Structure 1
């Protein structure tokens, strides 16, 4: 069983013991006036590890996959429901790409300031050159809330999906390409 602080917080945590990149996300949410619920927990590496987190937050944490084309000259961040299976071919066809595979951890860290297990839409903050194309499964638009990590996999946040689409993503300055999975 995972260690989880069952308290749901709606405030920014103390910066003590927190990474600068995590604190930057709270600052952005505060600046944009986006309310959130925060749950602290032990590190999670996969979507399967998020089951208990989902229950505490009353949401589904989404899969965030860092992908690249076969030439490794185009990179993508795919956000999709955790209960769906990623299949490269249909997504590649929808975006007009060659076969997709997982991007290298070094590129993930260089482009999004993230490490495997903590891949999150919030990493787009660090992609000022827009080297990563944002892909979102249309099914996410049907949900009221969106769950994600603030650049670190020891905390999960819950915000309204409308705040994600209308406020946070425009701030991150990455146009959305919607796909169907």
Structure 2
């Protein structure tokens, strides 16, 4: 694997991935990129983590029981997820993983490629962004550019202060214990 600081050639790349690079350039958000084999899970990202010098963010796409409220949770990859703990903080009982049809419809993503950057496709703001305090306070966020064969290292500040305001998405800070 090699590190890159710019966009790849569009040959063989999905339009959704190239749209990410277009937006990052438009917003003047620098990034470091690593291309790799399919990495659909946090465990598969360990080698990428080492190369980028960060821990990839765990991205969970969740919904309430009625499938009327949808959430994207960004949390540290090594922290266990406890639905009860999160439910209490956001006032939504019975959280579960949302179906891939909603993931595709709202964010244009496929399973294993879930990323905060997919919110650029959520024009109706159907997905509520939840960020664990530990992620919000970290210097960098590691995420996929809407495809799980590349990973990006972005400054957290750029995501929170440039990217999210531009796409008109707010976020809710949560504090997950992980014990």
TM-score, L = length of structure 2: 0.96
1:63 corresponding residue in structure 2 = 58
Q: Which runs of 4+ in 1 moved over 6 A?
A: none
Query: Alpha-carbon deviation of 1:14?
Result: 0.6
2:33 corresponds to 1:47: no
Which of 82, 89, 96 aligns to 2:91? It is 96
1:83 corresponding residue in structure 2 = 78
Which of 132, 147, 151 aligns to 2:142? It is 147
2:103 corresponds to 1:108: yes
Which of 150, 160, 167 aligns to 2:162? It is 167
Stretches of structure 2 that go unaligned for 5 or more consecutive residues are: none
2:19 corresponding residue in structure 1 = 24
Which of 1, 6, 11 aligns to 2:6? It is 11
Q: Report the RMSD for the aligned CA atoms in angstroms.
A: 0.7
Tell me how many residue pairs correspond in the alignment: 176
Query: Alpha-carbon deviation of 1:102?
Result: 0.1
Q: After superposition, give the CA deviation of every residue in 1:61-109 in whole Å (9 maximum; x if it has no partner).
A: 0010000001111000000000101110111110111110000011111
Quick one: distance in 2 between partners of 1:44 and 1:91? 26
State the SS of the aligned residue for 1:165: helix
Which of 130, 137, 141 aligns to 2:132? It is 137
2:120 corresponding residue in structure 1 = 125
Quick one: distance in 1 between partners of 2:114 and 2:154? 17
Query: Alpha-carbon deviation of 1:172?
Result: 2.2
Stretches of structure 1 that go unaligned for 5 or more consecutive residues are: 1-5
State the SS of the aligned residue for 1:158: strand
Q: After superposition, give the CA deviation of every residue in 1:127-178 in whole Å (9 maximum; x if it has no partner).
A: 1011110000011122111110000000000011111111111122110011
